[in-house]
Amino acid sequence: MDKSKTAFIDIDSQFDFMNPEGRLYVPDSINIIDNLKRLINIARKENIKILGSVDAHKTDDPEMNTVGGPFPLHCIKGEKGQKKIPETKPLNPIYVENREYTEDELEKVINHKGEIYFEKQSYTVFENPNAEKIFKNYENFIVFGVATDYCVKSAVIGLLDMKKNVYVIEDAIKPVTEAGGKEAIEQMKKKGAKFIKTQDALKLLK
């Protein structure tokens, strides 16, 4: 696998999703944190690009139950719940706002040597108009994070629609519901995603 054409994608590993005290904790996700840390460390050691998504909400975003949406307040920009967990905290990140970037702005993102995280206000990273423009520079994607049946599935399906090679780390994802997770995995597999374990990620890069 060509490392220069490979990216790890860290989906929403934020306090409100990953910590039991978080506002929208994904059940059992605390038990994948060690694997998330291992994957981030593999990417750093092997000099693989780390991309990712982060929820970056305002209190009146449409999906919030304060304005009639389905979810409680979570990942409010600037608050503790929106922060990355320590195990996946980036070293030199750039956070890409959810708006159309100019060519000059986009070029700065593309040339950024550190991690690139796309801010979003819904479950799909592709809501951010800059994500696909960055993703097109890579061919192989190794995906992990939460939640299997929402943000992970959306990212994986979107990448597969771009005709990319997608590997999902099955012991580094967790669903909101068990049934939803099983259905999402079947959908991703049917679309062409390959499922591997954390211990296999390093072998894949050789």
33-81, pLDDT tens digit by residue? 999 999 999 999 999 999 999 999 999 999 999 999 999 999 999 999 9
Task: Say how many domains are in the chain.
Answer: 1
Q: What is the pLDDT of residue 200?
A: 96
| Average pLDDT estimate for 94-119 | 98
pLDDT at 121: 96
| CB-based burial label for 105 (10 Å; 0-12, 13-18, 19+) | middle
Residue 90 three-state SS? coil
Please determine, for residue 189, whether its predicted confidence score (pLDDT) is greater than 90: yes
For range 184-203, the mean pLDDT: 97
pLDDT at residue 206 tops 90: no
Mean pLDDT, rounded, for 88-102? 98
Tell me if 125 sits within 8 A of 96, measured CB to CB. no
- Amino acid residing at 64: M
pLDDT in tens, 5-16: 999 999 999 999
Please tell me whether the peptide bond between 131 and the residue prior to it is cis, using omega within 30 degrees of 0. Answer: no
* pTM confidence score: 0.97
Mean local confidence (pLDDT), 21-25: 98
Indicate if the pLDDT at residue 148 is higher than 90: yes
Residue 131: exposure state from Cβ atoms within 10 A (0-12, 13-18, ≥19): buried
The whole-number average pLDDT for the span 111-135 is 97
Query: Domain span at residue 57?
Result: 3-204
Average pLDDT over residues 103-124: 97
Q: Do residues 123 and 69 make contact, with C-beta atoms less than 8 angstroms apart?
A: no
> Model confidence over 156-178: pLDDT tens digits?
999 999 999 999 999 999 999 99
Burial of 41 (0-12, 13-18, 19+ CB in 10 A): exposed
Output the domain CATH number for residue 32: 3.40.50.850
Q: How far apart are CA 59 and CA 26, in angstroms?
A: 20
